[in-house]
Chain A
Amino acid sequence: MAIAAVFRTCPDTGLKVHSHAENLIKANAVVAVIFLAVGGFFGLLVALTRWPAVHLLPADAFYLVLTAHGANVLLFWILFFEVAVLYFASAILLNSRLAMPKVAWGSFVLMIIGAVIANVAVLQGESSVMFTSYPPLKAVPHFYLGLILFAVGMLGAVLVFFATLVIAKDEKTYEGSVPLVTFGAITAAIIAVFTLASGAVILIPTWLWSMDLISEVDPIIYKVIWWGFGHSSQQVNVAVQVAIWYAIAAMVLGAKPLSEKVSRAAFLLYIVFLQLASAHHLLVEPGISSNWKVFNTSYAFYLAVLGSMIHGMSIPGAIEAAQRRRGLTQGIFEWLRKAPWDNPAFSGMFLSLILFGFLGGITGVVMGTEQINLIIHNTMYVPGHFHATVVAGTTLAFMAITYLLIPLIFRRELVFKRLAKWQPYLFGIGAAGISLFMMGAGTLGVPRRHWDITFTDAPLTVEMPGTAFLMMGLNGVFAILAAIGGLAYIVVVVGSVFFGKHRDEAVAKANPVIFDGGEAVTQYGSEGTIRIPGTIVLVAIFFTSFVLYYFVNWKYLSEVWPLR
């Protein structure tokens, strides 16, 4: 392609930065943030409606806004941001030009068109089918068309990513193996191809069906394939988010993975077992055998979960090792106490790691257990769980890395530094709160996607326990906190991108973003003598909670009506 590559040299890293890569990262990240703002606002409206004492929206508006919330945050915010991360992890980290910039821009435009069309369809009001759009519920044809265009655009971006890897290798822009962060991004991209293909395979016939060109879409087959897209894309999110954890630990603290081998093997486990997860959504469906459910819901023998548990040790371990190298060796936790808690990139990353592991990971495995799903399926527990993974985990990780992308890629200093410092805590605590209270409400039987748990308009009375109402009220309170945290993020990002001080070389020198602790920290590897007792304690606490919570849920299950 005949676009001349224009480069600058990054004053922080010495890496060459390709202008197209840089501009595409900016464009995708900015659009992502817009969708987060829109989708997050819808989320707040949803939460305020589900707060029984507030009950903000009327029923039809509630279901419409809920559909818009799911699509804008889960699909558009996350995937636009992931495109930015993919370009960063390929062109920037590999010191290379970005392949096929025209395709990359074309994909970007296509994704925007798709996202806008889908939003228009939802806001027109005839497509309140939730973002999962299970048939036989039918949306207007352009709802599906928008999603298809979006997926095709995303596929284009993934292609550009792979082509960039090839170019970088050909042009020998780096030596040896790709960095671990890039490796994580490759994992994500491979899974994304499978994911997007599944999406196309099911959404295209559904689109034809919505135009009456096909008479029927089997609802169970739809779910099997749709969740091949819907759940596997969560695997993409996990891979990207873990890569970001590693990236932030490296950039802020100079942390080196304890073992490249272990971390890379853990990523590989994600790829090998990616296709199985749609079972999580089909555990109480008729006509699917238990053999299939048991094997698939556990990713064979929980091997993808094993991957995450490995990262759960190697990331805090890498941080601890780096901190100890630097002399923070007192007791078990000095390294953690004296971590840069006022750097939002670090605090966001660490909160994301903890909340994802403790709240999202454990509950995901528990509710994905074939029989335990019986007491959880489609209750509020489900959105509780995935707000821990995808909001407290993924979204917070994306927010955290933004605080590094702004100086490095947008070349601006952060504005409102105090606000930025508090932002991860506001958002993290808010997100943790909504997760916990939605899960609590779910264990009490509160249904998800439901406008009125007082059942005022129902022909028969239904009494939900008082604590369920309390939980939904607390969910509303923490939703406000999360929304304030989200707003703070948007204010800081928009403020910095448009009004932040230009970060020329002098500013960059005076105020470095990338940790420069010399060889000592970065050279530390697993073969060294440094012990990581703090990490071992953290992992032990995690494991104990996991085991206890797991068996408690079997106990709950054993108390419900016998059925077979």
Chain B
Amino acid sequence: MAIHPPADRIWWNEKLTAPEVIWISVAFVWGLIMFFAMIYWHAVGDQNLSNEAYKISPEVFAERTEAMVEKYKVREEGDTGIPVVRPPAGSDIYMLGRLWEWWPILELEKGQQYRLHLSSMDWQHGFSLQPANINLQIHAGYEMVITITPSETGEYSVVCNEYCGIGHHTMVGRIYVVDKKK
């Protein structure tokens, strides 16, 4: 029994039965398949994280974000005072996380590519784009750059899903995806 020393002292010479051999082989091959699936997706899939990241100070990142806002601000969101920014398709766009907001609001065109830069001003935050359900971890001092292509028009929320203190559940942002201007 499993609670006694093996009855068969030379247990390492036991022969395996067919079901054992088959299952171990199947499971092993399945592991290989799952491993290569990730590599395959890097080659042909459309959803991969870039490995592009930089060390950056929060101040510098904030400056770049503010510069973008200055240049491309189109309006303010209701009476919140939060700027809505519409940078040209194909450009570099910035969103920063800080206690407790994702800033600014971005307005993007469907089907266009943007290089999205993300970083935090203070603690760790979770960039969770809803309802698309894309989730990224954002740190202060690190700038993450990914190229996104919004594929559906609509109003998207950015929720913080990394605990960041008592205001965590109020930390939200927004991205509008609109049709291309004729």
Contact = CB atoms under 8 A, between A and B. Distances in A.
Interface of A: 59-60, 63, 93, 128, 130, 134, 136-137, 174-181, 219-220, 246-247, 249-251, 254-264, 282, 284-290, 294, 298, 300-303, 305-306, 309-310, 313-314, 317-318, 365, 369-371, 373-379, 443-445, 447-453, 455, 457-460, 462-465, 522-523, 525-527, 532, 535-536, 539, 543, 546-547, 550, 554, 557-558, 560-564
Interface string B44-59: 0111111101010000
Contacts of A378: 126, 128, 135, 137, 161-162
A261 B12 contact: yes
A199 to B, nearest CB: 20
Most buried by B among A174, A284, A448, A536: A284
A560 B149 contact: no
Interface of B: 1-9, 11-12, 14-17, 19-20, 23-24, 26-28, 30-32, 34-35, 37-39, 41-42, 45-51, 53, 55, 77, 80, 82, 101, 105, 118, 122-124, 126, 128-144, 146-151, 157, 159-166, 168-174
Contact of A137 (B80, B82, B123, B130): B123
Contacts of A314: 20
B96 to A, nearest CB: 14
A82 B105 CA distance: 50
Contacts of B2: 179-181, 246-247, 249-250, 255-257, 263, 318
8 contacts: A262-B24, A286-B53, A298-B31, A298-B34, A313-B20, A317-B19, A536-B19, A558-B45
A455 B38 CA distance: 35
B53 A374 contact: no
B172 A455 contact: yes
B42 to A, nearest CB: 6
Given A447-B126, A561-B132, A459 B47 contact: no
A143 to B, nearest CB: 15
B57 to A, nearest CB: 13
B107 to A, nearest CB: 14
Contacts of B151: 561-562
Contacts of B144: 286-287
A460 B174 contact: yes
A444 B136 CA distance: 16
B5 to A, nearest CB: 4
Given A458-B172, A462-B159, A557-B47, 14 more contacts: A136-B123, A255-B1, A260-B8, A284-B137, A286-B138, A286-B143, A371-B47, A444-B131, A449-B161, A465-B131, A525-B14, A561-B148, A561-B150, A563-B149
Nearest to A130: B163
Contact of B19 (A60, A532, A546): A532
A560 B47 contact: yes
B14 A309 contact: no
Given A130-B163, A220-B142, A561 B169 contact: no
A349 to B, nearest CB: 12
Contact of B134 (A175, A176, A375, A539): A375
A377 to B, nearest CB: 4
A301 B1 contact: no
A67 B2 CA distance: 38
Contacts of A465: 131
Given A177-B11, A220-B139, A561-B148, A374 B5 contact: no
Nearest to B130: A445
B27 A376 contact: no
Contacts of A527: 14-15, 17
Contacts of A557: 45, 47
A450 B169 CA distance: 6
Contacts of A257: 2
* For the complex of A and B, 10 pairs with smallest distance between CB atoms: A302-B31, A447-B161, A286-B144, A286-B53, A260-B11, A246-B2, A562-B46, A287-B53, A250-B1, A378-B161
B32 A176 contact: no
Contacts of B141: 219
A562 B172 contact: no
A469 B41 CA distance: 33
A255 B3 CA distance: 10
B41 A448 contact: no
